[in-house]
Amino acid sequence: MAKTVSTKPVLSKGSTQDRLIGATLVSVSRHGLAKTTVDDVAREAGVGRATLYRYFPNKQALLEATLNAEVLRISQEIHSAGEEQTDLDGALVAMMSVAANEVAHHEALQYAFANEPEQVLPHLAFEGGDRFILLAANAFAPTLARFLPIERVVRSSEWCARIILAFLVPSVQLVIADAVLVRDAVRTFILPGIVPESLLTVNKTVITQGVSEVPTTGKSKKG
């Protein structure tokens, strides 16, 4: 069963840099990207401005570091969810469920979507979108490599990433965050893009009954 994840910003008890990144998420969820200041972040992290500037030269560097840290964290969550599964269908559902929950319950991201979409869209379109797809695809690739021929892993991982990008639209998030609908979305949009139609047709009854037996196309799970 796919895990439900909590994405409420929490201040890290680790390094000062981690605390500053956590404080940035908290501040953005309260004030937004545009209105968050280095003073807000320093205050939230319990450090002085001088300490913050020792790690980040300006607000832009702080935001970029926070974005990179969140992408890495979410990618690791997606990978972990897929790693626990023993079949392709279950792995895709688990990974997409984590991605959907991360987006739907991410307070900083939801604030930005609702109040300042112009701050978010550059990261999801054109060069920003390409970077997002590359990073997201890397989260799916290790798991997909267990079930698919190596020559199809890159294309299939990118396809999963593009579906996530499409589901970032706020009006879709509330729907795709539902566990049952995530499974439907996987079988409607993702599997047809990565599994040959002939194999899907043969296994249509099995898949729709909720028994995950999509063929591994000759590649077994690694021990």
Predicted local confidence at residue 28, as pLDDT: 95
Predicted pLDDT at 82: 94
SS3 129: helix
Distance CA 7, CA 32 (A): 16
Return per-residue pLDDT of the chain as tens, 223 residues. Answer: 444 444 444 444 579 999 999 999 999 999 999 999 999 999 999 999 999 999 999 999 999 999 889 988 998 999 999 998 999 999 999 999 898 888 888 899 889 888 998 887 777 766 767 888 888 899 999 999 999 999 999 999 999 988 888 777 665 554 556 778 888 888 888 998 888 764 554 444 443 333 333 344 444 444 4
Helix axes 126-144, 88-104, angle to 10 degrees: 140
Q: What is the pLDDT of residue 178?
A: 72
